A and B are shown apart, each in its own frame.
Chain A
Amino acid sequence: MSFKDVLSPFLAWKNLVKQPGTIKKPLEREGADRYRGFHQNDMKKCIGCGTCEEICQNAAIDMVPVEGQETTDGDSGLRPMIDYGRCCWCALCVDICPTGSLTMSNEFKWIDSDPDVFRFVPGAENKPWDKDEKGYRKPDNYELYPTGRIHMEELKPEDRDKSFIEIVKGYSKEQAIKEADRCVECGLCIATCPAHMGIPQYIAAVRNDDMEEGLRILYETNPLPEICGRVCTHNCETVCAMQYKGDPLSIRWLKRYIADQVPIEKYKEILGADGFEQQDKKVAIIGAGPGGLSAAYYLANLGYQVKVFEAMAQAGGMTRYGIPEYRLPYDQLDKDVEYIKQLGVDIQFNTRIGKDITLDQLHKDYDAVFAATGLHDGRSTRVAGADHPMVFQAIDLLRDVTEGKEITVAEKVVVIGGGNVAMDIARTIARLQNQKYGKVQLILTSLEAEDIMPADVEEIVESREENVVIEPAWGPKDIKIEGDKLKGLNVIRCLSVFDKDGHFNPRFDNKESNFFEADQIIEAIGQGMDIKYMSEGLEDKLEMTERNRVKVSTFSQSSLPWLFVGGDITGGTDAITAIADGHRAAKGIDKFLNK
């Protein structure tokens, strides 16, 4: 120890004249640019998926209803409420938010004597930091889940444009598990699916590689998984929370994956179909389409004796006679139908109600009747020349193709329509033209501009790959006929299809016109129904809606208690809606017969 050791501590006194490091007004200090402060939520961007709630390890987030937020397709209407008594400001909620609506401001001061205010819904209550630009945001180039969809392998255009082999190859196990891994289980898809399928649950089954569980979940709400796994309109994918940072999940392909993995021999055992109690009541179902088959399945499960009457030679309805084989191979369709038959459902083919048997007779013979006869009559544009023999209805041609009949295929064809049926017939004809003439000369013209065409995007893309020329936003004016020969279609520019109230009311510009040369014209602008069998003798008893459809209850029950009606004829638009109708009708019939 030295003299220095006694003196040098006094050097500390030099700090007396130093500038202090303390901040004089700490409340005015601003947080750093990345500071994880109080939450902000863009209420318009937020879809209420609840992924923030899911990842929060402190259970600080609750999804709650908020005034002014409506529940819509793709928005649960709920918003995150954050409890600052539990929050640990880890910002995982911000990082995982699929829409990027949840962020954090750099504000960290909030003084209040009421402890309850610290449980609040960011964005719903005006807070001073709501508009703060600074604060924690999820950095780019970093995600807590993969955003890109696993690519589904398809046949190349040159391999498929002559044949009717199924285009989509299906996922391998590895691909399916990877794709299923992307799901955040928000369940927005369940609410949007007409049949309210347990989508996150069966995706979880794919992830866990438990196909039996997956099949059980599918059959809870949908007895036609092979069909829906291929041709469903997949409304679920349009609301998938994953679409905001990348691609929506391939929900449809995952459903197909499950159904494809399980052989039909195992269905009965997995679904436990042996044990149900038989009832002595009988139910007749008109139409073996998706609606009728769905009702038949659930009624058979409830023990009813079910008989299905089908006008055509095979089951499947529009999924067989409207959808080409390259989208839905018949053997896969048969698998779904076969299982329903195995449950004891009797299908009587080639029997048209109203012609072979009357509805009245069915009423006498059966305790309840479910009618799901679909839309099988093509609608015509009714322009001049539409009655020419070379003008066809898409739906008739598609039916003929399914039945294996030779159909008329000209060298130059024009298809009118922008929906999936138009795509189906265009691509079918393109294949046949390729087979017959070695090249495709086909124009598809629709009223709608390409961005509002009702057909699926992939249909439009794949049609083009198959050399179909698409001419959107033209309205048919008349069909040019010289002598007996059809020469082509005159069209005028269509400016808009719907008026501002959303009603169908197209506006045309007569000045801009075009002519599409053709030997054959196919109309695919929608279908109508034929329910004469229902109205004959029942006109005054059956209540109809304003749009001349049969009025039904939530359980598909018409004003005649014994008659249930569903599927496309009550306003459905696709197979999955018909399946949902069938399920509801089965519940309704059970309620009606067991009251």
Chain B
Amino acid sequence: MTDTNKYRDKFPAKNPDGTNIIDLESHKFVKVWQGPQHPGITGNMALELILQGDEVMSCKTHVGYLHRGFEKLMERRKFIQCFPLVCRIAVPEPDFNEYCFAASVEELAGIEIPETAKWMRTLILEMSRLTSFLMWIGGQSGAFGLGIVGQWSNLVRDYMLDRFEELTGGRIYRMFILPGGVRGLLPDGFKGRMEETLKFVETAMNDIERTMFSNSIFKRRAIGLGVIDPAWVDQYGIVGPNARAAGVPKDVRKDYPYLKYPELDFDVITATESDAYTRTVLRAKEIRLSVDLIRQLLAKMPKDGEFMAKMPNMLHWKIPKGETYVRAECTRGEYGFYTVTDGSGYPRRVNVRGPSYTHAVALMEKLAIDCNIADTAGLMTSLHTYPPEIER
């Protein structure tokens, strides 16, 4: 790893505990708001930065620009009516919300979903991961001034959206994973077209990897940026690729196997360096893994069969008193729904645990210190955060 900091200004003075001494009255500092309208922020949130020169002395995160009160809205909706609502909690990966909600109410109501539905759900979730990663890699490269990668990755992402459209009927909000199962089977010829799209993804990834990872500018800016200490993983609740890049093999798909993941052949990808560059390389490998998993799923899954359990009348569906926590591995790590029911036709409380909550708020405030102002966007993207899931 190159120590980029050695070229930088040695200011400011530090307290004995290592924190920066900030004195706004000294006129050596400037306060800058990055966001809430800033392309480097990955959504509607803001960083309140105090700079000395071009170096970040302190960072405070501000959220609340996208609060839509989903958790509260759900308490006033019948269970079936929550279904079109939850997908909006994390826009680029709506399916994880649908899955976690459906799985939690199924568990509380004691409903076993058919085998085909489990395969379909696994496929949808893995497709969703791939699509989300493709959008993210464009953002990561764009944050370091490499705009062309975003164009390539979003083109293949669009092909993936076409596949979603023909499978589920929706491009962005798929609304396919319904409590009780899924809403349909694979359309005719889907496997062939999916394979074609996966080939596109692989070709694009060849170009992307060559352009990003054999790139002196990208390397110079990303290596050594935002190093996460493995000791922080449990302390902060860091999950997903951010934890795996720090050498902690956290993966819900392996740790708490769900759906058909136990029947798929894959290993948890880990790395050691734990900086923005390593995280990018790790996520590129995750993309390749997702492609492989989708191929495995399409080869193993049944063509037809029941895809929906026999359900009671959804308009009066009451779920016995209980509580549960259901989790799944989304692109950013563990995604969870903590659901409480009280025997009525409405959820008593639903709490959504999005990984961005830790990554974008607490972790970002820590990592941004001493970082160059030009790199904060790249740093934030390298944590892969989606502000909508912070606010729910």
Q: Which of B5-13, B209-217, B293-301 has 4 or more CB atoms under 8 Å from chain A?
A: B209-217
Q: Would A141 and B81 count as touching, CB distance under 8 A?
A: no
Query: Is A32 in contact with B216, judged by CB distance below 8 angstroms?
Result: no
Q: From B159, B167, B170, give the contact of A89 (CB < 8 A).
A: B170
A91–B169 CB distance below 8 A: yes
Contact B169 A34 (CB under 8 A): yes
Q: Is the CB of B166 within 8 A of A32?
A: yes
Contacts between the two chains (Cβ within 8 Å), count:
120
Task: Tell which of A4, A36, A89, A184 touches B214, judged by Cβ atoms closer than 8 Å.
Answer: A4
Q: Decide yes or no whether B48 CB sits under 8 A from chain A.
A: no
A142-B308 contact, Cβ under 8 Å, with A33-B187, A57-B84, A90-B175: yes
When A139-B184, A181-B316 are in contact, do A9 and B170 touch as well, CB less than 8 Å?
Answer: no
In the assembled complex, B231 has its CB within 8 A of some CB on chain A: no
Please report which residues of chain A, range 87-144, place their CB below 8 angstroms from some CB of chain B when the two chains form the complex: 88-92, 95-96, 104, 136, 139, 141-144
Inter-subunit contact B219/A1 (CB<8 Å): yes
- The distance in angstroms between the C-alpha atoms of A514 and B83, with both chains bound, is 64
B214-A92 in contact (CB<8A):
no
B165 in the interface, Cβ–Cβ < 8 Å? yes
CA distance A503 to B365 in the complex (A): 86
Chain B, interface size category, equals 35 or more
Given A146-B313, A182-B313, the answer on whether A12 and B211 have CB atoms closer than 8 Å is yes
Is B91 interfacial (CB-CB < 8 Å)? no
Residues of chain A within 8 A (CB-CB) of B155 are 21
Report whether B183 and A9 are in contact in the complex, using a CB–CB cutoff of 8 Å.
Answer: no
In the complex, chain A residues 36-85 whose Cβ is within 8 Å of any chain B Cβ: 36, 51, 54-55, 57-58
Q: Does B310 contact A (CB under 8 A)?
A: yes
CA distance A8 to B313 in the complex (A): 60
Q: Assuming A8-B210, A57-B81, is B219 touching A141 (CB within 8 A)?
A: no
B313 touches A141 (CB 8 A): no
**Which partner residue on chain B sits nearest A184 by CB separation?**
B315
Taking the closest CB of chain B, its distance from the CB of A520, in whole angstroms, is 50
Given A31-B165, A144-B311, do A55 and B214 touch, yes or no (CB 8 Å)? no
B207 touches A181 (CB 8 A): no
Contact B215 A145 (CB under 8 A): no
**CA of A174 to CA of B300, assembled, Å:** 41
Contact B314 A36, beta carbon cutoff 8 Å: no
Residues of B202-236 whose CB lies within 8 A of A: 207, 210-211, 214-217, 219-220
**Does A17 touch B at the CB level, under 8 Å?**
no
Is A11 an interface position by the 8 A CB rule?
Answer: yes
- Of all chain A residues, the one with the shortest Cβ separation from B223 is A1
Smallest beta-carbon distance B309→chain A, Å = 10
Q: Does A459 contact B (CB under 8 A)?
A: no
Taking a contact as CB atoms under 8 Å apart, the answer to whether B315 and A145 are in contact is: yes
**Are A185 and B315 in contact (CB-based, < 8 A)?**
yes
Report B35 CB to chain A, min CB distance, Å: 27
Contacts of A11 in B (CB 8 A): 207, 210-211
Bound-state CA distance A8–B187 (Å) is 41
Q: Does any Cβ of A come within 8 Å of B374's Cβ?
A: no
Residue of A nearest to B155 (CB): A21
Find chain A residues with CB under 8 A from B312 CB.
145-146, 181
Within 8 A of B (CB), among A309-329: none
What separation, in Å, do the CA atoms of A51 and B80 have in the docked complex? 13
Distance in angstroms from A369 CB to nearest chain B CB is 46
Contacts of A515 in B (CB 8 A): none
- A207: chain B residues within 8 A (beta carbon): 316
Contact of B175 among A31, A33, A91, A184 (CB under 8 A): A91
22 A-B pairs, CB-CB below 8 angstroms?
A9-B214, A9-B215, A12-B211, A32-B162, A34-B165, A34-B167, A57-B84, A89-B175, A90-B83, A90-B175, A91-B175, A95-B183, A139-B183, A139-B184, A139-B307, A141-B307, A141-B308, A142-B184, A144-B80, A145-B315, A183-B313, A184-B313
Seed contacts A9-B146, A15-B152, A141-B307; 18 additional CB < 8 Å A-B pairs: A4-B214, A5-B215, A6-B216, A9-B211, A11-B207, A33-B187, A34-B165, A34-B169, A34-B184, A55-B80, A57-B78, A92-B84, A95-B183, A139-B307, A142-B181, A146-B313, A182-B313, A183-B316
B-side interface residues toward A, CB under 8 Å? 77-78, 80-85, 146, 148, 152, 155, 158-159, 162, 165-170, 173, 175, 181, 183-185, 187, 207, 210-211, 214-217, 219-220, 306-308, 310-316
